[in-house]
Each structure stands twice: as C-alpha cells, then as structure tokens.
Amino acid sequence: MNKDGFYALRIHPIVFMGVVTIVCVSILSALYLSTQDRVEANELFFLRRSVLDAAGISHDGTVDDVQSLYETSVVETDGKYSIQGDGNAPVTVVERTGPGLWGPITMMIGFSSPEVLSGISIVSQNETPGLGARIEEPWFTAQFAGKTGPFILVEEGTSDASNEVDAITGATRTSRYFRDIVNVAVSDGPSIYGGQ
Amino acid sequence: MEDNKMAKGIYKKTFMAPLGKDNPVFVQILGICSTLAVTNRLDNTLVMSLGVIFTLALSSFTISIMRSWIPSRIRMMVETLVIATFVIIVDITLKAFYPEMWKSLGPYVGLIITNCIVMGRIEAFALQNKPSVSLVDGIASGIGYAYVLLIIAFVRELMGTGTLFGFTILGDWWTSWAIMIMPPGGFFMLAIFIWIAKEAFMKEATS
C-alpha cells in the first residue's frame, strides 16, 4: 500500500475513526441500557424519599421502607402529593424549582395547613460544595418544619420567632435564593393546600 | 536473564517516576482544574481520584494496544474518543450503583475527560510504549495525582469545615475557615504543597 496515497491519507483515517466510534458507542449503549432500570429505580427512590421528608414522615432510609411508606400513605394527583396522616392533619407536598447561585434548586415543600410548613427537602442543587451545598444538611431544611412563612433570614444559630430561619454563614446568596423559592411557594399556600 | 532484569527495571522506573520526580500535579502542573475543584471534600476527592486512575490506566492501555494502527493525523480524535468512553463508563457506573455519590460529584466526573494528565500521558507515553508498561504508567500517574489531591483535600476539609469524610473531627472550639473550601483555598494549598514538595525532596534532583 502506498503510504502517501489517496487511500492512506483520506479514506483510511475516516474508516478507522468510524470503526472506533461504532465500537465505543456500542459499548456505552450496552452499558446504558443494562443499567437503565437501576438508574430509574434510583431516581424514583430519591423522589419518594424527598416527598416523605417534606411531609415529615420518618423512615429509615432503606429502599424497602421508603417504598412501603410511600405506597401506603401518599396519593399523587396533578403533580401534588397528598398524605393523609393517621390522626394528623393531611399534608400536601409540591415540587418547586427556582434559581440558585450556580444553577436551579429543586425542592419538595410540604404544607400541613395553608400557612404552616411540614418540611422541605432538596431534590437537586448545584451550590458551592461545603458552603451553599449545606442547604442539603438536615439542620437547615429541618428548621422550616412547623414554621409559618413568609420567612426572614437571621444569622446562623439565632433564629427564634416562627417566621425566622438561620441563614448559612458563608452562603448568604444561596440562603437568599432558597428563602425566595420557599416564600413564593408560601404565598401560593392557600391554593396549594386548599385546592385538594 | 539480562533482558528480564532490564524489563523489571522499566516497570519499576515507570511506576516510581510519577510518584516523585515526575509527579503530574506538583512537577508537571497538570490537572490543576480538578485539583482546585474537588479538593474541598475528602469523599469527593477519593471518588474523583479513583475515576482518574481507572480512566488513565485503561485509556493508556487501550491506546497503547492500538498505537501501531492509529493514523497519526487523527490520533488525538481517537484518544479523546477512547478517554470519553472510559469516563462515561465511570459516570454510568456511579449513577447506577452509587447514586448518592454521583449526585454529590455533579459535573466533576464528566470533567475527567478534560483532565490534561490523561491526554498528556497518552501523548507522552502510551503512544511510544507497549501496553503493559503503559498500563503501569497510567496507574502510577493516577496514584501520583490521587495522593497529592488527597493530602490537599485533607487539609482543606479539616480547616474549612472541621470534618474528615464528613465526620466531625474538630470540636465547637474550631472556627471553620470558609476560605479553605472556596476556590482561593485550593490555590493557596496547591502553592504551599508545591513549595514544600520542591524544597523537601526535589532538591537533589535539581542540583
């Protein structure tokens, strides 16, 4: 074969690249398809766990427990999750998304009355690891439970009144974005909770 | 016998170089973007390091096997494709089996593709050497990258949040240095690390 010929310079690289691409794409497609069920199950688990967390229902974090609790207590209608607690007031959970510092923050917000929150849990966020990402820490989301909005932020560790929550030190802007998303949901509270 | 000895020597030399005098991070100053990005938490750093070791080792190995067939004019395209394939394998595996870790790493796993160490080792080493030596070089370069990152992450997480792997180590008396977990903290730590490394055990090499 002529090393500088038309074939070696023009055709061979294209054919070679095509073959390598087909091999690589086939491997990845096979891997993707074989893990698809698992990935979907993971996503469903995260979603259900968020709903339970926002509704203030305690679970042990295992797949089985979350699934059985969800199936016995949660009814989903039009993107709203209604939970009829035993003896407690019913809870309505909605998903809300709003801008964060780097990307959107998506969360589940639970209402135990048109004004009072039952809890909040984060579905996804892209805040600064170690600073803004601390919104995922339980202490931060837990402080909304049982409180009445609209909320105001106070310095970390000083919240007192029923509409005050601690901001995160070093993540003032993430805290503000988070508060805004929650407050918008709170202002829709009557239609979210009463609409069921 | 003589050949055997020499071959062994090559493996040992190839393995030791990236750990010390040819370290990809503090000597060649490669892979700095991920060094700065993921080192504010040890668990993220550990998974990122394992991902890089895996990608580096297997893409060096694969390219080395293919090296005599790859047309030189398109070699970078082929390299990128192979690297991307291994990175996506890491990504899909994490997504399916370690979803919590995958969520917390976010876009960093995909960014292994742009880690200059991977492309650098393939261009500088795997294209000229046989597969087994290239595999050793890939693993060793990955380890050379990993241990530097883990040391930096250890200091950053400890000083920045008072924790290690998420467990509280320093008590309430410790005031977390927020700057350590922000990007400037990464620059400071990397610079200090390079300085100490060069002073401590690079001296003989230069003199």
Q: What is the pLDDT of residues A16-74, one digit of tens each?
A: 999 999 999 999 999 999 999 999 998 888 888 888 888 888 787 788 888 888 887 88
Confidence of residue B207 (pLDDT cuts 50, 70, 90): very low
SS3 category, B62: helix
d(Cα A111, Cα A56) in Å, to the nearest integer?
A: 10
State whether B88 and A17 contact (CB < 8 Å).
no
Mention every residue, 6+ apart, whose C-beta is less than 8 A from residue B121: B24, B56, B60, B137, B138, B141
Q: Which residue does chain A place closest to B107, by CA atoms?
A: A126
DSSP annotation of B103: H
d(Cα B205, Cα B46) in Å, to the nearest integer?
A: 30
* A17, A21, A130: residue with CB nearest B160: A130
Least Cα distance to A107 among A126, A121, A127, A93 occurs for A121
**Contact present, A102 and A127 (Cβ < 8 Å):** yes
**Contact present, B148 and B142 (Cβ < 8 Å):** no
Q: In angstroms, how far is CA B153 from the centroid of its own chain?
A: 13
Amino acid at site A168: I
Cβ-based neighbour number of residue B23 at 10 Å = 23
Domain ranges of chain B: 34-154
Say if residue B99 is preceded by a cis peptide, omega within 30 of 0.
no
ipTM here: 0.76
* B41, B78, B157: residue with CB nearest A20: B78
β-pair type (A164-166, A74-77): unpaired
- For B59-111, the pLDDT digits (tens) are 999 999 998 888 888 889 999 999 999 999 999 999 999 888 887 777 778 88
**Contact present, A184 and A98 (Cβ < 8 Å):** yes
β-pair type (B167-168, A80-83): unpaired
Q: Which residue does chain A place closest to B106, by CA atoms?
A: A126
Q: What is the average pLDDT value for chain B, to the nearest integer?
A: 84
